[in-house]
Amino acid sequence: MPSRLRNISLVAPATANSVLSLTAKETLDLQYMQRALKAALRGAVCGEVPVGAVLVCGADTFSAHNLRECRNDPTAHAEMLVIRKAAKALSRWRLGGTLYVTLEPCAMCAGAILEARVDRLVFGAWDPKAGGCGSVWNIIEERKVRHPIVVIGGVMEEESQKLPKDFFAQRRAERKVGKLGYPAPTKR
């Protein structure tokens, strides 16, 4: 993990007198991350892997959640969808602003974030299997990248990790009892 990233969370809120009191920007980061978590929950209700994204471009705010299963589209990640939504609404591809995501973006999404010229990326949980911002690859901080992005990982990390863990635990339980429409795989 890059050393400049700072983990902040609502699990143990800071008081006004504590050493860990949050800056105004960190407070905003927490508020928008909560909105990304709500978007992720909307996705889980639809049967999608619960990943949510919120993009703040000036006074405009956009949100999305994964739609890969609903659309049968491998590129329908929350980050890609929110970037497309913002670009269309703002009629520009250089978006700037801050992108909040519940899970570390994959390589595809990291590339899209760079291409959209997002200024800041704030994400919750690290993705040790497919993370493109420090866990597996570090596309965002590649030396040859022309557009530097401030990356802050681990914001509301525990809350962000809990969503996919609970989602997949529920899916495994449903699969055992055959509620997903296909039997559990047999061991060979």
* Paired tokens of 32: 């928008």
Active site residue 174: no
List strand residue ranges (DSSP E) for the chain, in order: 52-57, 60-65, 98-103, 120-125, 150-152
Residues 6+ apart with CB under 8 A from 37: 52, 102, 124, 156, 159, 160, 163
Q: The tokens of 165 are what?
A: 């863990």
* Token representation of residue 160: 């962000």
Q: Identify the sign of the CA torsion 57, 68, 31, 7.
A: negative
Contact status, residue 156 vs residue 33, Cβ threshold 8 Å: yes
Catalytic residue among 79, 104, 157, 159: 79
46 in Cβ contact with 171 (< 8 Å):
no
Question: Is the separation of the CB atoms in 54 and 31 below 8 Å?
Answer: no
Torsion from C-alpha of 125, 128, 132, 136, nearest 10 degrees: 150
- What positions carry a catalytic annotation? 79
